[in-house]
Amino acid sequence: MIRSSMHNHTDLCDGNNTPDEMVVAAIDAGFTDFGFSGHSMNEKYFNEWGLHDEDAYIKEINRIKEKYKKQINIYVGIENDYFGRTKNSDKLDFLITSVHGFVNSDDTKYYSVDNGAEELIAGIDSVYSGNAMSMIKAYYENLCKAALLDKPDIIGHLDLPIKHNEGNFIFNENSDEYLKIAKDAIRYLSAFSVFEVNTGGMYRGYREFPYPKEELLYYILKESGKVTISADAHSINGIDYKLDEMEDLVKDIGFKEFYIYENGEFKRHRL
């Protein structure tokens, strides 16, 4: 069973529980290693869900790390957004790179890809003249740019724009055009870090499969990419949601191994 997860949030950003509550739940769930990955901040774009004080966050997680060190290994990280860059990379144990949205041409308006279909459609209409594939292309380009800057440990929720696209409501995520854009990004990103198999959207009821979806996982395998498994938990109830099922999934896809963060580094585990 998986005993490590690195993508977790607290009430210091957009989570529902305190760091202490998350750690106690992780211990109760049998984790040996547990990472905190608070959202980086951009006060202009996403003031409501980023860390308002990164220094205080890092200090708090380091306090937690010391408090529970005899029971669990705790790591302090940040989920670093392309549009909100951390200035504290040197103080972190690990880094996740993600993209959560896009901005208009005059840099005055931010649109989230995961804050609801209405906002996403409005952004596509306003910024990309209704062309959803132009938004998709920019999203993956920005993810690649961010990874080049960060050299992160983990690529966060690779295909996040599909979150509100159930039934191809906004764009055709099964089209050759979409898949080519996503696969080009995978080919580039495979050189940088580990892709997470993220169950957060499943836990919150948005999709029935993880990020990235199975077809992209097959392509990650083809490109010799590495995968880890995480819950992207925002509450104590979601910290281990379907992690073991994801281990079975990647095995069924054909992965012979996946990576677990243990004792301060990624370690390969055979399937």
Question: Token pair of 121, please?
Answer: 């459609």
Instruction: Provide the pLDDT for residue 225.
Output: 97
Instruction: Provide the pLDDT for residue 47.
Output: 82
Question: 163-190 pLDDT, tens per residue?
Answer: 999 999 999 999 999 999 999 999 999 9
Instruction: State in Å, rounded, how far the first CA of the chain is from the last one.
Output: 11
Taking the C-alpha atoms of residue 120 and residue 136, their distance in angstroms, rounded to an integer, is 11
Judged against a pLDDT cut of 70, whether residue 75 lies above it is answered with yes
SS (H, E, C) 43-92: CCCCCCCCCCCHHHHHHHHHHHHHHCCCCCEEEEEEEEECCECCCCHHHC
Is residue 183 within 8 Å of 144, Cβ to Cβ?
no
Q: What is the mean pLDDT of residues 81-99?
A: 96
- What angle do the packed helices 132-150 and 117-128 form, to 10 degrees? 90
Instruction: Provide the pLDDT for residue 50.
Output: 95
Tell me whether strands 33-39 and 73-81 are parallel, antiparallel or unpaired.
parallel
Q: What is the mean pLDDT of residues 239-251?
A: 97
Is residue 159 within 8 Å of 114, Cβ to Cβ?
no
Q: What is the mean pLDDT of residues 234-247?
A: 96
Judged against a pLDDT cut of 90, whether residue 131 lies above it is answered with yes
Helices within the chain (DSSP H only): 19-28, 54-67, 117-128, 132-150, 176-189, 200-203, 214-222, 243-253
Instruction: Provide the pLDDT for residue 48.
Output: 85
Question: 197-233 pLDDT, tens per residue?
Answer: 999 999 999 999 999 999 999 999 999 999 999 999 9
Question: 4-41 pLDDT, tens per residue?
Answer: 999 999 999 999 999 999 999 999 999 999 999 999 99
Residue 2: pLDDT band (50, 70, 90) is: confident
Instruction: Provide the pLDDT for residue 270.
Output: 94
Helix (H, G, I), strand (E, B) or coil at 169: coil
Single out the residue of 211, 74, 89, 91 nearest to residue 155, CA to CA. 211
Instruction: Provide the pLDDT for residue 19.
Output: 98
Kindly list the structural domains of the chain, giving each domain's residue range(s) and its CATH number in brackets, ordered by start.
4-100+140-270 (3.20.20.140)
Is residue 25 within 8 Å of 31, Cβ to Cβ?
no
192 versus 187: the higher-pLDDT residue is: 187
Q: What is the mean pLDDT of residues 114-132?
A: 97
Instruction: Provide the pLDDT for residue 1.
Output: 67
Residue 113: CA count within 13 A, CB half-sphere? 27
Counting other chains too, the contacts that 126-134 makes at CB distance below 8 Å and 24 or more residues apart are 127/102, 127/103, 132/170, 132/171, 133/171, 133/177, 133/178, 133/181
45 versus 232: the higher-pLDDT residue is: 232
Distance of CA 179 to the CA centre of its chain: 20
Instruction: Provide the pLDDT for residue 135.
Output: 98
